[in-house]
Amino acid sequence: MELFSNSYFALFLIILIGFLIGRIKIKGISLDVSGVIFVALVFGHYGIVVPKDFQNLGLVLFIFTIGIQAGPSFFESFKKNGRELGILASILIISSGTIAYLIFHFLGIDKGLVIGLLNGALTSTPGLAAAIDATDSHLASIGYGIGYPFGVIGVILFVNFLPRMLRINIANEGQKYNDGIKAAYPAIFSKNFMVDNESVIGKKFGDLNIRFMTKAVISRVMHNEIVSLPDENTILYKGDIIIAVGTNEALERVKLLVGGETNIEIPLSSNFDVRAILVTNKEVVKLALGDIHDLNRYHATVTRIRRSGIDLSPSPSSKLQFGDKIMVICSKENIKEVSKIFGDDTSKLSSTDFLPIALGIILGILAGKLSLNFDSFSFSLGLTGGVLIVALILGRTGKTGPILWTMTGASNQLLRQFGLLFFLAAVGTSAGKSLVETFQQNGFELFIYGIIITFIPMIITTVIARYFFKLNILTLLGTLTGSMTSTPGLATIDNMVDADAPAIAYATVYPIAMVLLIIVVQILSVL
C-alpha cells in the first residue's frame, strides 16, 4: 500500500499497534511499551522501515530525560547503604558482561548479536541504544528481541520464588525495613511549651540560637495574650507560650531548653496566615533558606518542607528544590509578597523550558564525540554515553545561573515516552529485515544463552548480598530488579508486600546499572 511508504504513517501505526499489544496481560504479565519493538520487527520483515533520523531523535530524548531525572540519586547513591547497593549492581552487570564475552569469544556467536542479547536479557533499552551505537549492527536489535521475553519473565519468576527458597517471611522483613525508614525520616510534629527555664528568661532569640541547639522551628510566641512571630530580637519572658515544630527528638530538646509542655493553645491571630507555598521561582532553587534575606524582611518563618512525599524539618542551610512545598507563617499583609519570593505558580509545574533541553543534548552530543586513543584501541562515550553522562551531571547540578536543568515529572515522562517510542519503532523496523533468517540460524541457542545471562548474575548477586552484606530481602529484590532495569519485576514485588523498600532500592541502583551496562557494552564492542 502507498500509505506504508509514508514514514510518518508507518511510525504511528507501529506505535498504535504496539501499545494495543503491550496492554494485553496474561496472568498479570504484559509487554507494555516494549510491544512496539516486536511490532516494528514484523513491519521491518515486510520491508516497511522507519528512517534512522527518528531513531537518533528518540535516542537523545530518551537518554537525556533519564539522565536528568536520575542525576541526583546517581551521585547520592554511594551515601549510607547506597554504596553497598551500588557494589551489588556492579557485580550483577559485570558478571552479565563476562558471560556475554565468554559466549561470543568461545562459541563463535556474532558479537553484535550477543551484545544485543545481553541487553535483552537485562531488559535494558538504554543498553540496546548503546549497543546499536557502539556496534553499528542491526543484529544487536535482533539479539535484544530474542533475549527480552525471558528477561521480563525470568526476573518476575525469580523475585516470586526467591523468598520461598530462602524461607523468609516477607511481611516481617518489610516491617523491619519500614521501621528503619521511619528512624531515618522521623515524622514532624508541633507542640506548645511554657517558658519557665531561668536560663532563657529575659534573653533574645538571636542569643539563644534555639534552631541550632534543638533542630526545631519556633513558629509563634504568645506574651500577655499577644501572639507574634519570633525574630532574633524577640525576648522570652517567664510564662510565655511558644509553638515548636520538629521531630520528637527535637521537641524534647526544646522542652529541656525552654520549659515543659502545656495544653494552653496559641490562637492563630487574624493578622497571621499559615500557607503551603510551591517553590517554582528559579531564583530561589538551590538557595539555602538562610540566604533568602527577604524572609527576615517580611518576618516569615518556614516551619516545614515537603519533598517527594516526605516532611523535612527546615534549617538555615536547607536548600530548596523546584517543586518543593513549604509551610510558611507570616502576617496576612506580607503573605502575597512571600508567595512571590518562592513563585507559588502551579502552572509552572506543567510547563517545559526547551532551552536547557536543547543545550544539554548539544553538550551531550559533543561529549560523545570526544575519544581517548590507546595503543590497541580508542574509546569514546558515543552518542548514548555522552548524552547520558552530561544529563546525569546537569541533573545533579540542578541549576547554572538562570538555567534550570531539572524538569517536572510530567514533562520528563512525556518527552521520555516520545523518545522511547520513536527509538523502538525505528530500531525494530531496521532489525526486522533479517529477523527470520537470524532466528532460524541461532534462535533457540540464543534463547538458552539469554536464560543463562538472566539467571546466573541474579544468583551470584543474591548470594553475595545475603551472606556478605546481610541485606534485607526486600532491599535485595529491589536491587535485583533495578540492576536488571525490570519495571515488571518491581511491580511484582509491590504486589507481594506493602513496603517502600524495593522501590527505594530500585531507584538507587537503576541509574548505576544503566551507566555501568553502557560502559560494559562499549568495552565489549572493542574486545
Query: What is residue 439's predicted lDDT score, i.e. its pLDDT?
Result: 63
pLDDT digits (tens, 9 = 90+) for 215-260: 888 888 998 888 888 888 889 999 999 998 888 888 999 999 998 9
Q: From edge to edge, which strands make up the β-sheet containing 226-228?
A: 189-194, 241-246, 217-223, 226-228
Band (88; pLDDT cuts 50, 70, 90): very high
pLDDT of residue 27: 65
Give pLDDT tens digits for 160-203: 888 888 888 887 877 776 676 566 667 788 899 999 988 889 98
Q: Average pLDDT of 393-404?
A: 84
Percent of the chain scoring above 90 in pLDDT:
12
| Between 82 and 302, the higher pLDDT residue | 302
From residue 365, how far is each of 306, 359, 361, 368, 521 by CA, in Å?
Answer: 36, 10, 6, 5, 18
The backbone torsions φ and ψ at residue 32, rounded to the nearest 5 degrees and listed phi first, read 55, -135
Does pLDDT of 93 surpass 90? yes
List phi, psi (to 5°) of 260.
-75, 165
Whose CA is closest to 69, among 141, 126, 115? 126
Tell me the CA end-to-end span of the chain in Å, nearest whole number: 44
Question: Kind and range of the H or E element at 131?
Answer: helix 125-135
Buried residues in 307-316 as b, exposed as e (16+ CB within 10 A): eeeebebbee
- As a whole number, mean pLDDT of residues 481-502 equals 73
Please name the residues in contact with 179: beta carbons below 8 A apart, sequence gap of 6 or more.
Answer: none
Our measurement of the distance from residue 80's CA atom to the centroid of its chain's CA atoms, rounded to an integer in Å, reads 17
Query: From residue 133, how far is each of 88, 158, 460, 518 by CA, in Å?
Result: 27, 31, 29, 10
* pLDDT computed for residue 240 by the predictor: 92
* pLDDT given for residue 194 in this prediction: 92
CA 373 centroid distance within chain? 34
Mean pLDDT of the chain: 82
pLDDT confidence band for 76 (50 / 70 / 90)? low
How much is the pLDDT for 522? 84
Q: Is the pLDDT of residue 462 over 90?
A: yes
pLDDT in tens, 258-292: 989 998 888 777 777 888 898 888 888 888 888 88
Q: Which amino acid is at 406?
A: T
Instruction: Work out the average pLDDT over 346-355.
Output: 76
**pLDDT tens readout for residues 99-145:** 999 998 888 888 888 998 998 888 787 778 778 878 877 788 888 87
Q: Is a pLDDT exceeding 60 seen at residue 523?
A: yes
Q: What is the pLDDT of residues 369-381, one digit of tens each?
A: 887 776 555 566 6
- Angle at which helices 409-432 and 139-166 pack, to 10 degrees? 120
Interval 333-343: pLDDT, tens: 888 888 989 98
